[in-house]
Structure 1
C-alpha cells in the first residue's frame, strides 16, 4: 500500500513539473519572435517552404549518370624470385627431361620426279630441318637432262648443296656449300659455201663449279635512333671446264653503319681476288673497293652522299674515284616514291659469268682475254610505289657511259664457238635505257607480273652491240583455281639482235646479212622470238601432287646465239611428294 501511494505521488509531481516547463518555454518563444506561440488548435502560414543550402555544401558540377570509372589506377607488382627452402630433409625437386616431340607435322621436305619428250628426265630432293626455332639446316639434290632433234644437241645439269642459318644472340649466320655441273656440246650446225659441215665432230663441254658462301649479319632494332649495324660476307668458288680453263675466286665484303638520330654514317668495303688460267694464258684480276657515305633520313626522304674508291691490281693496276649519291623522296607516302642517283664502278668480267650466259665460248687465249668494264658515269631516276599487297610498280630510266663493253663474236678458227671482243675507243660508249616492272594481284585467284627492258646503244668502235637485245619483255601469271589446282604461265619476248661473223667460208644464206669492210666481216640479223610456257599442278592429297609443264609452246626453233637453235616444244610431267 505504502509503495502504491508513493508511485501515485511521483506521477502527479511529474505531470505538474511538465506543465510548468512547457508554459515557460512558450513564453520565451513569444518574447523572442514577437508573436504568440503556436498552439495545437491553430497554425499561421507565413510563406511557402523552400529549402536553402549553404554555399559550403553545394555541388558545383552536373552529375555524370554513366557508370564508367573516372580513374584507372596503374598497378605495379614487385615479385621476388626466391627459392623456397624446405628444411624437412626432403630432396630438392629436379626437372624431368621429356623426349622431344613435334608440335605439328612438318611438310617443308619434298621429292619430285618427272619425265617427258626429248629424253627429258627430272629429279629433285629437298630436305630441311626446323627442329629448333633459331636454327635451320638443309640440303638439296637436283638433276635434269634433255636431248634435242639436232645431232649432239644435249644438255644436262646437276646440283647438290647443303645450307644452314642460325640466330645466335646479336648476330645471324648464313652459309651454303655446293657443287654445280652443266654439260652440253658444241652442236652448232655450221657449213661452208659448198655445203660441207665445218663442225664434223661436235665437241663436249662441261663446267664444274664448287662454291661456298657465308654471311654474318648483326641483329638490331631498325626503329632505334642510335643503332649500330654491321655485316661480313665471304664468297669463294673453283670454276673449270673439261679443257684447261680454270678460274678461282675469293671475295670478302662487309659494311659498317652507325645511326645517330636522322643521320647514318658508314662504309661498304670489299676485296675480290680472282685468278684465271688457260693453256698459255694466266691472269690475276683483283679489285678492292671502299665506299664511305653519310645518309640523311627523315619520315619522307632519304639522301645518301658518298664516294666510291676502286683499285684494280694484279697483272695490271688502275685506280678510279667515282661519285656516289642517291635520293628517295615520298611524293605520296607508300604509294609513290621518286628516286634517283649518280654513281660509277668497275665491273669485273669473269669466266664464270660469261660461260653461264653463253656456254659455247672457245678456249681462252691471247686474243680472248679478260678485261673489266668501267662505268664512268651511271645516272638513273624514276618512280616506284605500291597500293597495299595487291599492286606494285617501278619505272626507272638510266644513262651510262661505259668503257670496254664485252661482246661475243663467232671465232674465225672454230666457227661453231665464240670469242670475246671489247668495245674500244678514245671515248666511252653510252647506253640509254628504260626499265619497267609491275606486279598485280587481281584477286586471290589471279596474280600477274612483268618486266620490260629497253636499251639504245651509241658505240664508238663496234657497229652493233653484238647479241645484246634492245628490247626484252618477261611476263608471268598464276591462277589459283582452287585449293588443289594451280596454273601458271610465262612469256619471254626478245627483239632482234645482231651477230658478227669474220670468216668468209661460213654459209649464211639462211640469214639476213650486211657486209662490213669486205666479205670476211659480216653483220648477221637474228630475228626476234617469243617463248611461251605454261604449267599446272593438282594436289591429290596434302602430301602428293601431280604436275605437267609445257615449254616453248609455240614450237619455234629460235636462236639466242648464232647457229644454236633452242629446243622446240617439250613437255614434262611427274609427281611430287612432300613430307
Structure 2
C-alpha cells in the first residue's frame, strides 16, 4: 500500500469524525485560521512478484546391476494317468556310410552291313581313395562294296592309372594305336592294284607320366609337370620320335589375382629310309596374369616361342565382361600360337599323305576376335565369335601330279580369313539335349597359292538326344560340309560338291546290365569327297549289344 493511499484514508476518517459528533466544534474551528498541510510523495508504487523457486533436476541412469540373480522355480507336480504305457526308447544302429558299387566295366559288340565288326571293352578299378586305373580296348573296320580296296581298320588300346598321396598325385598312361587305310583314290577302270601294294598302316605308341600337387586351399601353389613320349611309324619306313615336356605353374597372390607360367619343350625327329633326319622343335614359355571376378575375367600374357630357327614374341590376351550377369557376356581376345606340322599331326588330318617334305615350317596362327555368349533361363546357352584369322606358313594338301592317289603339302606363306562361329544349345537335365553349331570362313587372301586347297569354308553340325522313360535313348546328327578347291595335274583346279550327312542312333536298356543299340550312318547315301578322289562310304548300319557290370 503506497503513501498516497494512507493520506487519503486519514482525510476520510477525519471527515467522518466531524460528521459524527464534532459538529459543535465546527464553529470554533471555523474561527481559526485554516492550517495548510503538505504531502510528500517519496516514490511511485512499483508492484513486483516474488522470485519463483526453481528446482534444478539432473537426469542420470541408474547403475547397472551386474549381479547374477538367483532365481528359484517351483513347478508343481502334475500327475497324469495314461491308459497306454510307452515302450522304452532304444537307439538304432547307424547304417554304413558307403556308396553303391559302380558299373565300371562294359563290353560292347556289334556288326554292320559293310563287314563292319565292332568290339569295345572297358574295365575300371572303381572308387578308391588311394589309387585308380582303367583299361580300354576298341576295334572296328569296314570293307567297301562298290569301290575296290576301300577298306580300313582301327585298333586302340589304352591303360591309365593314378596314385594319390596326401599332398601329391602321380598319373601315367600307355597307349597303342594302329590305323590301316588303303590308297584307293585312283581310276579303277584303268589301273588295278593288289591290296598289299596300296596299304598304309600307322603305328603309334604313346607313354605319358605326370603329376600334380594337391593343395589344401585355394591360395596354394599348384604345378602339373608332364612328360610324353611318342613313337610313330608307317608302312613306308617313315619314323618320327617325339618328346614333350610341360611344366605349368600357378599361384594365387590375392583373392582374385593369379600368376601362372608354363614351359613347353616339344622336340621331334623325322626320318624316311636312309635320308637325312629332319628336326622339328618348338620351345615356348607362357607367362600370364589372370584377374578373376564374378563379372570380369582378364587373362594377360605373352608367348615367347623359339621355332623354325627364329624367336617370336606372341600376344596372349583374353577378356570376358558380363554386360548382363551370365546372360550377356562380351568375349574378346588377341592370341597367337604355333601349330606343329609334324608327320604325325599332318597324317591325322589327311591319312593319304605321302610322307613329309623337307623344309616344312610350323604354322603360326594369329586370332583377333570378339563375340558374345551366355545363358538364357535355365536351359539355353549360346556362344558367338567373329574373328580375323591369319595363318603364316600353313601347309595345304594337293594331289601328287605323278601319283594322284597320294597327297603332298604346299606351304602357304600367309593365308587370311574372316571367321564366324555360332552355337546354341538346349539342355533339359538328362531327358533332352539339342545343339547346333557352325563355322564359316571367308578366305580373302593367299600369298603363294591360287586357292586354299582342301579347306572347306563352311562346316555345320546339328545334334539331338532324347531319353524316353529312362530306357529308350534316341540321337541324331546332321552334318553340313561345303565343297573345297583341289588342284589338278595340269595345274587347273576344281571344287568338290557340298553335302549333307545324317546319322541316327537308338539304344534301349534291358534291365540294369544289358543294352541293345543300332546306328544308321549316311542316311542320304551321299558319297561326298572330303579329299579329292576319295569318296566316303554310302549308307551303312551297325548294331549290337552292350553288357555293363
Task: Give yes or no for contact 2:343–2:355 (8 Å, CA) kept in 1.
Answer: no
Task: Give yes or no for contact 1:114–1:573 (8 Å, CA) kept in 2.
Answer: yes
Aligned counterpart for 1:348 among listed residues 340, 345, 361: 340
Aligned equivalents of 1:349 and 1:496: distance in 2?
Answer: 24
Aligned counterpart for 1:540 among listed residues 502, 507, 510: 510
SS at match of 2:224: strand
Question: How many angstroms does 1:389 deviate by?
Answer: 5.5
Question: How many angstroms does 1:221 deviate by?
Answer: 6.2
Evaluate the alpha carbon distance shift between residue 334 and residue 215 of structure 1 in structure 2; reply closer, same or farther with a 3 A threshold: farther
Moved more, 457-466 or 379-388: 379-388
Partner of 1:476: 463
Task: Give yes or no for contact 1:278–1:365 (8 Å, CA) kept in 2.
Answer: no
Question: How many angstroms does 1:499 deviate by?
Answer: 0.7
Matched, 1:142 2:138: yes
Evaluate the alpha carbon distance shift between residue 199 and residue 563 of structure 1 in structure 2; reply closer, same or farther with a 3 A threshold: farther
Aligned equivalents of 2:285 and 2:520: distance in 1?
Answer: 47
Partner of 2:425: 439
Aligned counterpart for 1:273 among listed residues 264, 267, 271: 267
Partner of 2:521: 551
Evaluate the alpha carbon distance shift between residue 402 and residue 449 of structure 1 in structure 2; reply closer, same or farther with a 3 A threshold: same
Question: How many angstroms does 1:175 deviate by?
Answer: 2.5
What per-residue deviation string (whole Å, max 9, x for no partner) do you get for residues 31-76 of structure 1? xxxxxxxxxxxxxxxxxxxxxxxx99xxxxxxxxxxxxxxxxxxxx
What per-residue deviation string (whole Å, max 9, x for no partner) do you get for residues 289-326 of structure 1? 012122233332122222110012xxx51111122222
Partner of 2:258: 264
Question: How many angstroms does 1:550 deviate by?
Answer: 0.5
Partner of 1:214: 209
Partner of 1:371: 361
Task: Give yes or no for contact 1:329–1:337 (8 Å, CA) kept in 2.
Answer: yes
TM-score, length-scaled by structure 1: 0.74
Partner of 1:72: none
Larger Rg: 2
Matched, 1:565 2:519: no
Matched, 1:325 2:317: yes
Partner of 2:11: none
Aligned equivalents of 2:213 and 2:423: distance in 1?
Answer: 31
Partner of 2:544: 574
Aligned equivalents of 2:226 and 2:332: distance in 1?
Answer: 27
Evaluate the alpha carbon distance shift between residue 165 and residue 575 of structure 1 in structure 2; reply closer, same or farther with a 3 A threshold: same
Aligned equivalents of 1:365 and 1:258: distance in 2?
Answer: 43
Gaps of 5+ in 1: 1-54, 57-100, 503-519
Partner of 2:89: none
Gaps of 5+ in 2: 1-60, 63-96
Partner of 1:244: 237
SS at match of 2:287: strand
Evaluate the alpha carbon distance shift between residue 308 and residue 417 of structure 1 in structure 2; reply closer, same or farther with a 3 A threshold: same
Question: How many angstroms does 1:360 deviate by?
Answer: 0.7
Aligned equivalents of 1:414 and 1:555: distance in 2?
Answer: 29
Task: Give yes or no for contact 2:280–2:342 (8 Å, CA) kept in 1.
Answer: no
TM-score, length-scaled by structure 2: 0.78
Evaluate the alpha carbon distance shift between residue 403 and residue 179 of structure 1 in structure 2; reply closer, same or farther with a 3 A threshold: same
Question: How many angstroms does 1:474 deviate by?
Answer: 1.4
Matched, 1:499 2:486: yes
Partner of 1:29: none
Evaluate the alpha carbon distance shift between residue 269 and residue 206 of structure 1 in structure 2; reply closer, same or farther with a 3 A threshold: same
Matched, 1:429 2:415: yes
Aligned equivalents of 2:98 and 2:115: distance in 1?
Answer: 42
Q: Superposed, which structure 2 residues align to 1:114-129 within 5 Å?
A: 114-129=110-125
SS at match of 2:547: strand
Partner of 1:235: 228
Aligned counterpart for 1:383 among listed residues 372, 395, 398: 372
Partner of 1:74: none
Evaluate the alpha carbon distance shift between residue 302 and residue 445 of structure 1 in structure 2; reply closer, same or farther with a 3 A threshold: closer
Question: How many angstroms does 1:263 deviate by?
Answer: 2.2
Task: Give yes or no for contact 1:327–1:341 (8 Å, CA) kept in 2.
Answer: yes
SS at match of 2:512: coil
Partner of 1:130: 126
Question: How many angstroms does 1:449 deviate by?
Answer: 1.2
Aligned equivalents of 2:393 and 2:442: distance in 1?
Answer: 17
Question: How many angstroms does 1:213 deviate by?
Answer: 2.5
Question: How many angstroms does 1:128 deviate by?
Answer: 0.2
